[in-house]
Structure 1
Amino acid sequence: MSKIWTPGAGAPGFDPRSLRRGLDEYLLRCEQELIGIRRDLHAHPEVAFQEFRTTQIIVDFLTAIGLRPRVLPNGTGVICDIRGGDGPMIALRADIDALPQKDTKLVSYRSTVEDAAHNCGHDVHTVMLLGTGRYLAMLAEAGMLRGTVRLIFQPAEELPGGARNVIAAGGLDGVQRIFALHCDPTEEVGFLGLKTGGITSSLAKVLITLTGRGGHTARPFETEDLVTAVAKVATELPAVLARRIDARSAHVLGWGRISAGLTANAIPPEGELEGTLRCADPLVRQWALAVMPELLAALTSPYGVGCELTIPVDMPPTVNEATSVEIFRAAGTHALGEDKIIDTEQSLGGEDFSLYTEKIKGAYARWGVRTPGTPKYGLHQSGFDVDERCIALGVDLLVHTALTALDRSRSEA
Structure 2
Amino acid sequence: MPTPTDASATIDAVVDKYADDLVELRRDLHTHPELSWAEHRTTEVIARRLTEAGIAVTRPTDTGLVAEVGAGDRLVALRADLDALPVDDTSDVPWASTTPGVAHACGHDVHTAGLLGSALALHELHHRGQLRGRVRLVFQPAEEVMPGGALQMMGTGVLDGVERIFMLHCDPSLDVGELGLRDGALTGAADAMSVRLSGRGGHTSRPHLTEDLTFALGKLVTELPAIVSRRMDPRAGVSIVWGMLRAGSAHNVVPGGGYAAGTVRMLDAVAWADAEALIRVLIDEIVAPYGVTAEVDYRRGVPPVVNDHDSTEVLTAAVRRVVGAAGHVSTTQSLGGEDFGWYLERVPGAMARLGTRTPGGPRYDLHQGNLVVDERATPLAAKVLAEAAHGALSHETTTER
Using structure 1 for the length normalisation, give the TM-score: 0.92
CA displacement 1:163-213 (0-9 Å, x = unmatched)? 011111111111111101001111111212111111100111111121113
In 2, distance between residues paired with 1:170 and 1:15?
A: 32
CA displacement 1:37-57 (0-9 Å, x = unmatched)? 100110111110111110100
CA contact (8 A) 2:310 2:399 kept: no
CA displacement 1:235-264 (0-9 Å, x = unmatched)? 111122223334444221001111223344
Q: Which runs of 5+ in 1 are unaligned?
A: 1-12
- Matching of residues 219-368 of structure 1 within 5 Å: 219-368=206-355
- Matching of residues 70-149 of structure 1 within 5 Å: 70-73=58-61, 75-84=62-71, 86-149=72-135
In 2, distance between residues paired with 1:412 and 1:300?
A: 49
In 2, distance between residues paired with 1:76 and 1:133?
A: 19
- Cα distance change of structure 1 residues 148 and 104 upon mapping to structure 2, 3 Å threshold: same
Q: In structure 1, what residue type is equivalent to 2:276?
A: L
Structure 1 range deviating more: 289-298 or 130-139: 289-298
Structure 1 position 381, deviation (Å): 1.6
- Matching of residues 358-397 of structure 1 within 5 Å: 358-397=345-384
CA contact (8 A) 1:212 1:224 kept: yes
CA contact (8 A) 1:88 1:409 kept: no
Please name the residue that 1:211 is paired with.
198
Provide the secondary structure at the position in 2 that maps to 1:125. Answer: helix
CA contact (8 A) 1:187 1:376 kept: no
Q: In structure 2, what residue type is equivalent to 1:57?
A: V
Residue 38 (structure 1) aligned with residue 15 (structure 2): no
In 2, distance between residues paired with 1:361 and 1:226?
A: 48
- Cα distance change of structure 1 residues 376 and 409 upon mapping to structure 2, 3 Å threshold: farther
In 2, distance between residues paired with 1:14 and 1:208?
A: 59
CA displacement 1:333-374 (0-9 Å, x = unmatched)? 222212211111000001100110011111111111111122
Residue 400 (structure 1) aligned with residue 391 (structure 2): no
In 2, distance between residues paired with 1:255 and 1:284?
A: 20
CA displacement 1:219-241 (0-9 Å, x = unmatched)? 33223111111111011111222
Q: Which runs of 5+ in 2 are unaligned?
A: none
Please name the residue that 1:158 is paired with.
144
Residue 61 (structure 1) aligned with residue 49 (structure 2): yes
Structure 1 range deviating more: 262-271 or 174-183: 262-271
In 1, distance between residues paired with 2:145 and 2:230?
A: 30
Using structure 2 for the length normalisation, give the TM-score: 0.95
In 1, distance between residues paired with 2:144 and 2:300?
A: 11
CA displacement 1:247-303 (0-9 Å, x = unmatched)? 444221001111223344433322221111100012333343232223222211111
In 1, distance between residues paired with 2:165 and 2:108?
A: 17
In 2, distance between residues paired with 1:314 and 1:121?
A: 20
Q: In structure 2, what residue type is equivalent to 1:170?
A: G
CA contact (8 A) 2:70 2:122 kept: no
Provide the aligned C-alpha RMSD in A.
1.8
Between the two proteins, what is the percent identity of the paired residues? 43
- For CA contacts below 8 A with separation 6 or more, give which structure has more relative contact order: 2
Runs of 4+ with >6 A deviation: 410-413
Structure 1 position 127, deviation (Å): 0.3
Provide the secondary structure at the position in 1 that maps to 2:395. Answer: helix
CA contact (8 A) 1:87 1:410 kept: no
Q: In structure 1, what residue type is equivalent to 2:242?
A: W
- Cα distance change of structure 1 residues 52 and 364 upon mapping to structure 2, 3 Å threshold: same
Q: In structure 2, what residue type is equivalent to 1:123?
A: D
